[in-house]
Amino acid sequence: MGSRISRRRRMSSQEESDRDQANSNSRPSGTATGTGTNAEGSSSRPAAGSASGNTSSSSRRILQRSSDGGWVSVSLERTSDEEPELDLTTILRFLIQRSENESGQVRVVRSRELGLSGLFGDDSGDEDDDDDFVPAARDPQYIEPDTNGLDKHDLKGEILTASGRRPTAQRPQKNSSFIDMLNKREIGMLKHLHFTSGDRSEMSTGFIPNCMERVASYHHKAFCGQFSQSGDVFITACQDQNIRIYDTTGNRFRQLKGVAARDVGWSVVDTAFSPDGNFVIYSSWSEFVHMVNVYGAQETHVALDLCPMDRRFCVFSLKFSEDNKEILCGANDRCAYVYDRERGERTLRVEAHEDDVNCIAFADCSSYILYSGGDDGLVKVWDRRTLSESYPKPIGVLAGHSDGITHIDSKGDGRYLISNSKDQTIKLWDIRRFSSDDAQEQTRRAVANQSWDYRWQGVPRRSQRKQQLLGDSSLMTYRGHCVLHTLIRAYFSPLFTTGQRYIITGCATGSFIVYDILTGKKVAKHKQHKSCVRDVAWHPYDNVIMTSSWDGKVGRWYYKRSEPDLVETSVSGDEGNTDTTSNTETHPQRTSGLRDRLRSALGSRSSHE
């Protein structure tokens, strides 16, 4: 991965001395090499060496994809204007021969395409050029969202009701303190002996986790971190090819077992719990999906063969069906797969997209409706009852993104979903509002016009502008997070504690961000990681958020009050007052009592299931 190639004209010692004297004020030219793969089998941005200040030196950069999925950065330099530039035939002959030896791929790019403009004398100096790049880890500019589409939609009423923000006859003025709600429950003013789901959601809005404790530290990048449906188990997948399963019952975080992943190419890229919590599946650059048991002293480790047609194969996303019988997969060969556990074989393979299928999900517990998102920028909706390999036609397409999709998450009601994208936005969709053919074509053109690679380049300035494609059928667009390097995930917040009022997403800046679904504003943004947060997980029943980062750290976030007086903590039902980005530095008071009081107020999980 770190190999470098430099073709130079042989010179005598006298010629070298003369050249060095002529260029004594110039820095030595260097070749840039790949720094190792960092995304789903893709490479990090090559670290450029210092370039010569003499304009007589020029360079052509070539990326070659190696057998392990990474990119080898090749620099072909000529040291003088008199030396003829290497002809394309010689370059391609060498690369093709190397590709055959290593079973790799070849890609030729310009230095500007790598974001190295100016290092080799080709910088135009135009600061307004759409191809200019901003630093990779820079916080993106927040853009005020357009709420017109969602304000008139029935989803707004559903979320207001579920999150306890819709005024009722009993409480027409929705602006109560936490302690005030406790007092009203004790004297029976809430008309119930216990808090309703809306009451719990309303109270939790004032206690979004804001303080992190590090619960795990690895020597390699953490790619995945997910809770089981019960929230009693947490799983992490790391680039060191190990899967770790933790017990999270109560306030514990104790490792139950470690699993050495099998047949791993580069890294484990996705994991999923079975609905009953007894099994975990994981995927990597392999034609197999592997399944391992969570409980039991004896390990059950099974390889499930998807029988793909491509030898270079990776499942980027996988999910269990709600009945535990099937596994849904999206892969780099543009196809979606269904594996039947009872029959022990793949039962469906359809060409779903025009590029990699990065994410896939079930719409609801029926397992009939499927969602998929790909690098073609489209989200597609499929019906298993009408789907066939010979005629893979979706029942509808959702278009509006201008770059590839990195993740999708279903609200679980068979109607709504969100999609995270490399165009630096999250979009909210209603599958009853499909996009027209013209809108789909607009998305295809926008994706085809992208000239950057999110794996190693910074974000183009044009991606940070507020712009909407013609025919965009999304209900809402959320901006303010950074999607770089890898397939960063975004999710709806839990139903039990928040009424799915929020969207939570990882960020390439090392933060996690919480958006209010109805206003699009940032409710919280907290940063404690030194590198990209690829995965986030909000506990389904407790007020805990987990972050898994490429700095090798796993963080557990809890609420820590910054104001000394708890009774002044306000629980507001006005969705317009949620633009309160929090600071991670909090008041150094003890928080265990607060957590206990909050858990007692919200009620135990068993009493409300």
Q: What is the SS3 assignment for 316-341?
A: EEEEECCCCCEEEEEECCCEEEEEEC
Is residue 225 within 8 A of residue 236, CB to CB? The reply is yes
- As separate numbers, helices (DSSP H) first and strands (DSSP E) second, the chain gives 9, 33
Q: How much is the pTM?
A: 0.74
How high is the pLDDT of residue 22? Answer: 42
H or E segment to which residue 176 belongs: strand 175-177
Those residues with Cβ within 8 angstroms of residue 342's Cβ, 6 or more apart along the chain or in another chain? 325
Is residue 283 within 8 A of residue 314, CB to CB? The reply is yes
What pairing do the DSSP bridges indicate for beta strands 270-273 and 254-260?
unpaired
The C-alpha atoms of residue 603 and residue 601 are separated, in whole angstroms, by 5
Name residue 505's beta-bridge partners.
490, 513
Phi, psi of 463 (to 5 degrees): -75, -15
Q: Write out residues in the chain with pLDDT < 70, as ranges.
A: 1-39, 41-138, 166-178, 187-193, 463-464, 563-609
How high is the pLDDT of residue 6? Answer: 35
Chain centroid to CA 132: how far? 24
How high is the pLDDT of residue 163? Answer: 81
The C-alpha atoms of residue 446 and residue 260 are separated, in whole angstroms, by 41
Instruction: Give CB contacts under 8 A, 24+ apart, made by 444-453.
Output: 444/354, 444/376, 444/377, 444/378, 446/377, 446/401, 446/402, 446/403, 447/375, 447/376, 447/377, 447/401, 447/402, 447/403, 447/404, 450/402, 450/403, 451/113, 451/131, 452/113, 452/115, 452/131, 452/133, 453/113
How high is the pLDDT of residue 111? Answer: 43
Nearest C-alpha neighbor of 404 from the set 361, 468, 458, 453: 453
Name residue 408's beta-bridge partners.
419
